[in-house]
Amino acid sequence: MALLTVDNLSVTYGTPRGLLRAVDQVSFVLNKGQSLGLVGESGSGKSTIGTAIMGLLPKNAKISSGRIEYNRLDLVTTTAENLRKVRWKKIAMIFQAAMNALNPIQRVGDQIAEAIRFHEPEKPNTAVHDRVTELFALVGMNPRRRNDYPHQYSGGMRQRAVIAMALACRPEVIIADEPTTALDVIVQDQILATIKTLQQELGIGILFISHDISVVADVCHHIGVMYAGQMVELGTREEVFNAPAHPYTQSLMAAHITLFGDHQPEPIPGQGPDMVAAASGCRFCERCACAGDACSIEAPQWRALSSTHKILCCRG
């Protein structure tokens, strides 16, 4: 069952140099109880997709084309009032920087309660209190810490608090934007385990955004690889992680550091294309060892490798 459908989404940012094409015709479907990971370098458009779904794009950004559909409601064309009803109640977000996502002068428990009171104003205070207590326990924190301020929490606790806030109104979709950034590997593993457990128990659809393909492979059922605003490969975790087909995905895997075997990471040469300049041909061609003469001229087309696996590439 499709919870969220993104169809040919394009997002541009206004800059002094012109329009920056942050997201270019990206499509995917997120099903109930499953997770889709978006992985790629910084600046590839991953977080922009998340903020576009939430309706939280900055003032200099706009959705130039495409459709974002939740439960037959197009979030691109709907009213601001309808979007507010969906945001946090049906689709919630775990933001990248937990400390910045929490109000430093408000108790953590009160911040979580605020989201509940906004969407469920008829709920009595005792029920709100009980729900916050339940959420603290759900993410593995002592409910007595609800009266603490964010600066009294460790990094891992702040991240758990943000997860609890995202779950406050029992949403069907959660967008997790780099939820383990700046955490040590032990806490990172705990947070990832919490997210996987909650998804299995609650049947939530999760859009997981990360630059680390190993983290995405650990959490997600499907993986979408982003490069320069485009999705260049989409498939199941096993297809993308075990048999990467797009040259960029292969380069990401080759650059990945492992703790086993004698694999030496190979950095990807060069840098990404100018996102403001006019597009011409494949955006990865200047960094691709497999590129031919046509790659810099012809726009790449989607090529299906299986019923669930496809790549955006000029190669036949």
CATH at residue 147:
3.40.50.300
Mean pLDDT within 241-262: 84
Mean pLDDT within 312-316: 81
Quickly state the pLDDT bin for 115 (edges 50, 70, 90).
confident
Look over the chain and give the mean of its residue pLDDT values, rounded to a whole number.
Answer: 90
Does the structure show a pLDDT above 80 at 278?
no
Question: How many domains would you assign to the chain?
Answer: 1
- Structural domain includes residue 277: no
- Structural domain includes residue 69: yes
pLDDT at 139: 86
- Structural domain includes residue 271: no
Task: Report the C-alpha gap between 51 and 91 in whole angstroms.
Answer: 11
- Structural domain includes residue 274: no
Quickly state the pLDDT bin for 259 (edges 50, 70, 90).
low
- Structural domain includes residue 158: yes
- Structural domain includes residue 26: yes
Q: What SS3 state is found at 142?
A: coil
pLDDT at 173: 94
Domain that holds residue 173: 2-263+282-313
Quickly state the pLDDT bin for 301 (edges 50, 70, 90).
very high
Quickly state the pLDDT bin for 50 (edges 50, 70, 90).
very high
Q: What is the pTM of this model?
A: 0.91
- Whose CA is closest to 289, among 260, 246, 258? 246
E runs forming strands in 123-203? 173-177
- Structural domain includes residue 76: yes
Task: Report the C-alpha gap between 257 and 273 in whole angstroms.
Answer: 25
- Structural domain includes residue 273: no
